[in-house]
Amino acid sequence: MKLSIVIPVYNEEESLTQLHKEIAEVAESNQYDIEIIFIDDGSKDQSWQVVKQISQDDERVRGIRFRRNFGKAAALNAGFAAAGGEIVMTMDADLQDDPHEIPDFLAKMQDENLDVISGWKQVRHDPWHKVIPSRFFNAMVSYMTGVKLHDHNCGMKCYRREIFNEVSLYGELHRFVPVLAAARGYCVGEKIVEHRARKFGHSKYGFTRFVKGFLDLFTVWFLTGYGQRPQHLLGTIGLIAMTLGLIILTCLATLWVGSRVFYQIGICNPVHLKEHFPAIEYSIAALLLGAQFISIGVIAELMVANRNRIGKPYSIAEELN
């Protein structure tokens, strides 16, 4: 069985040689048939030169260089497209993921018949202002998607290759591959991994990572729950709004007609609709809003029915084979 190891790279020149050395040691000690694919996501340092040198020294190493920084999801997508192994591992290039965990991932996948295994950095070497929001985010992802993982953000994951025939990445959806795979019926598990302290460089993610993460979470929630049936969500919202508007208008009309009837027999004074003008405005707005949601739902259904795959969200400048 061939193992493909996909590693996105962004300004990691100091760690690449050591990372390759550790992976090679694991492969040789376990007699793995491997390929290592480094994807240089527009690095501004000498990362690509290091990858080229490693590739010259080790025929198992391949490299892909982007023309500019397209993001981790695009880098992983390029790596998955290039991977030829039946099993695909992903790792970060900063040495915080330990390659010696690879045999345990493969054994767990075989023993438990899993399709995806996500790493869980149970003990983290990050500052508290990153750990606490991350735990809150992971809990929310697990609750909203139903895929119970402790660490959706962990870069060390293991997949069966066929998953990527059905799951494509764009934007910042790389952290949600287990969720997207689970929505397709694949079996997902997790494994505790060691989180090594950073030796070189600095984190590439700041506060905006969490903002993007929450927006992507809503996207994934919609895609996994309503991606093939958007009208079920949009149409439901539209019907609720239209029903509410109709109820209010019906009540006002009934009140106005009834007051006119009762006024004729001297029971009460007639009701003037101008006294309820705000309620009329809100009910009409609810009707229009409901009609818009239903219309958008119809358009979304047409797009789902006739959608074509978009082009690759990256541009490759150079590739090593």
Residue 311 has pLDDT above 50, yes or no: no
Q: Give the list of residues 6+ apart from residue 142 with CB closer than 8 angstroms, or none.
A: 148, 149, 152
311 located within any domain: no
Distance, CA of 39 to CA of 274 (rounded, Å): 67
Distance, CA of 157 to CA of 48 (rounded, Å): 24
Distance, CA of 318 to CA of 51 (rounded, Å): 12
Q: Give the list of residues 6+ apart from residue 313 with CB closer than 8 angstroms, or none.
A: 70, 73, 74, 77, 170
Write out pLDDT tens, residues 46-99: 999 999 999 999 999 999 999 999 888 889 989 998 999 999 999 999 998 999
Distance, CA of 7 to CA of 174 (rounded, Å): 13
Q: Which of 226, 241, 262 is the last residue of a domain?
A: 226
> Is the pTM for the entire model greater than 0.75?
no
* Residues 46 and 193 placed together within one structural domain of the fold: yes
34 located within any domain: yes
Average pLDDT score over residue span 115-125 = 87
Per the CB < 8 A criterion, the answer to whether 6 and 84 are in contact is no
* Residues 201 and 240 placed together within one structural domain of the fold: no
* Residues 239 and 208 placed together within one structural domain of the fold: no
The per-residue pLDDT for 203 is 63
* Residues 222 and 234 placed together within one structural domain of the fold: no
318 located within any domain: no
Residue 15 has pLDDT above 80, yes or no: yes
Instruction: Extract the tokens encoding 244.
Output: 């509410």
How do strand 116-120 and strand 157-160 relate by DSSP bridges?
Answer: antiparallel
* Residues 219 and 234 placed together within one structural domain of the fold: no
Number of domains making up the chain: 2
Q: Which of 137, 151, 153, 160 is nearest to 192 (CA)?
A: 151
* Residues 20 and 167 placed together within one structural domain of the fold: yes
Query: Taking phi first (over 0 means left), then psi (-120 to 50 degrees means alpha), and beta for anything else, what does residue 42 get?
Result: left
* Residues 188 and 273 placed together within one structural domain of the fold: no
Domain that holds residue 189: 2-226
Q: Which of 182, 205, 226 is the last residue of a domain?
A: 226
* Residues 116 and 51 placed together within one structural domain of the fold: yes
* Residues 54 and 172 placed together within one structural domain of the fold: yes
Q: Which of 188, 211, 226 is the last residue of a domain?
A: 226
Cα–Cα separations (whole angstroms), residue 144 to 138, 150, 179, 222, 313: 10, 14, 10, 10, 27
316 located within any domain: no
* Residues 147 and 294 placed together within one structural domain of the fold: no
* Residues 158 and 241 placed together within one structural domain of the fold: no
The per-residue pLDDT for 308 is 45
Residue 147 buriedness (CB in 10 A; 0-12 / 13-18 / 19+): buried
90 located within any domain: yes
Distance, CA of 163 to CA of 182 (rounded, Å): 10
Per the CB < 8 A criterion, the answer to whether 93 and 198 are in contact is no
Provide the b/e sequence for 199-213 (b: ≥16 CB within 10 Å). Answer: eebeeeeeeebbeeb
The per-residue pLDDT for 249 is 86
Average pLDDT score over residue span 299-317 = 59
The per-residue pLDDT for 307 is 57
Mean of the per-residue pLDDT values for the chain? 83
Write out pLDDT tens, residues 96-114: 899 999 999 999 999 999 9
Write out pLDDT tens, residues 228-268: 677 778 888 889 999 998 998 888 888 777 777 666 666 66
Cα–Cα separations (whole angstroms), residue 256 to 152, 184, 243, 259, 268: 57, 54, 20, 5, 12
Q: CATH no. for residue 49? A: 3.90.550.10
* Residues 200 and 264 placed together within one structural domain of the fold: no
Residue 279 has pLDDT above 60, yes or no: yes
